């Protein structure tokens, strides 16, 4: 009989592409992961993982087993949810990983709502960039992710996850007050081709949005300064260090000294924000109210388009 714990290890290796990274995500040693994989191969009678200079990859048999593992693990999540419901599990802790703006816009207001509607639910929040929280969910480090679309993100039909769309928002152009385009009502990205740029670091989903917007406009941006803190990005623009594209919600309540903010002409680059849980966990009596509260806040208070 196949051990379900070993299916989780197989999926972690498929997700992280190396035994060492999978072990770190699962809080195991690499030797323990290797031993469990060997035991799983013995249980199935097939070689499941091949290791090489570039890491580990699943064999054809491993891919077949992984497809079934995703179904089995999702069903176990549903079983846990139903058992919790049966036991009237309305008190407990839910861990949520979210990026800073998402915390401010939807998660913090949702906590206020939950304190009134579901006082038995305690939410623990972890600050994580928009591309880091989904792997944390898949690795069972947290229960819920508030994430953004990014290159390499799991597809919407990924059978490991259930998504709840929250909101989408445009990026605005942030220019020094003395910029040649500061008096325009809207700014075309193509008109900023020769400017120095300020951006989050590579790997941050917002950096990807900026790069793609510039590529669509026909140029590669010249990044002079990098920061994942949009307050720093705006401050640098205010010091005439360059131009930037910043998500509209990140500018709310921010000191905008020395800069002007203008909508992007045409089809503006967009950040799409969603909540994600492991498939099958969306009905858990502790998790469902958290998802519902964030969705309600996004609809009622954020004032941005639905994702």
pLDDT in tens, 181-239: 999 999 999 999 999 999 999 988 899 999 999 999 999 999 999 999 999 999 999 99
* CA distance linking residue 6 with residue 37, whole number of Å: 7
What is the DSSP-derived secondary structure letter of residue 88?
A: T
- The structure tokens listed for 86 are 């049966």
Q: Please write the tens of the pLDDT for every residue from 239-261.
A: 999 999 999 989 988 989 999 99
- Report the mean per-residue pLDDT for the chain: 90
pLDDT value at residue 203: 83
Residue 59, classified by CB atoms within 10 Å of its CB into exposed (0-12), middle (13-18) or buried (19+), is middle
Query: Residue 42: pLDDT above 80?
Result: yes
- Could you tell me which of 206, 252, 249, 254 has the C-alpha nearest to residue 227? 206
- Could you tell me which of 283, 245, 250 has the C-alpha nearest to residue 264? 245
Q: Please write the tens of the pLDDT for every residue from 96-133.
A: 999 988 999 999 999 999 999 888 889 999 999 878 89
- Could you tell me which of 153, 17, 6, 26 has the C-alpha nearest to residue 72? 6
Q: Which domains does the chain have, with CATH numbers?
A: 4-83 (1.10.10.10), 90-167+271-302 (3.40.190.10), 168-270 (3.40.190.10)
pLDDT value at residue 292: 95
pLDDT value at residue 85: 62
Query: Residue 90: pLDDT above 80?
Result: no
* 229 phi, psi to nearest 5 deg: -100, 115
Q: Please write the tens of the pLDDT for every residue from 137-170.
A: 999 999 999 998 877 778 888 889 999 999 999 9
């Amino acid at each position: 009989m196949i051990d379900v714990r070993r299916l989780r290890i197989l999926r972690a290796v498929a997700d992280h592409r190396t035994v060492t990274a999978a072990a770190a995500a699962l809080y195991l040693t690499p030797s323990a992961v290797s031993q469990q994989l060997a035991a799983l191969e013995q249980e199935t009678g097939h070689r499941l993982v091949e290791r090489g200079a570039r890491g580990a990859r699943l064999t054809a048999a491993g891919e077949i087993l992984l497809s079934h593992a995703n179904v089995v693990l999702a069903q176990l999540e549903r079983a846990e949810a139903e058992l919790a419901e049966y036991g009237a599990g309305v008190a407990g802790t839910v861990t949520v990983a979210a990026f800073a703006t998402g915390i401010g816009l939807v998660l913090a207001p949702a906590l206020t709502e939950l304190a009134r509607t579901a006082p038995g639910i305690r939410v623990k929040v972890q600050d994580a960039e928009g591309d880091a929280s989904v792997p944390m969910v898949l690795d069972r480090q947290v229960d819920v992710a508030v994430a953004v679309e990014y290159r390499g993100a799991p597809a919407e039909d990924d059978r490991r996850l259930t998504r709840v769309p929250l909101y989408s928002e445009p990026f605005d152009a942030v220019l020094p007050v003395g910029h040649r385009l500061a008096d325009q009502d809207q700014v075309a990205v193509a008109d900023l081709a020769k400017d120095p740029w300020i951006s989050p670091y590579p790997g941050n989903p917002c950096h990807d949005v900026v790069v793609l917007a510039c590529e669509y406009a026909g140029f590669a941006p010249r990044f002079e300064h990098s920061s994942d803190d949009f307050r720093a990005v705006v401050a640098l623009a205010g010091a005439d260090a360059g131009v930037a594209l910043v998500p509209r919600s990140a500018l709310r309540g921010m000191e905008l000294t020395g800069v002007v903010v203008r909508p992007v002409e045409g089809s503006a680059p967009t950040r799409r924000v969603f909540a994600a849980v492991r498939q099958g966990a969306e009905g858990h009596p502790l998790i469902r109210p958290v998802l519902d509260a964030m969705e309600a806040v996004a609809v009622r208070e954020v004032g941005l388009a639905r994702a």
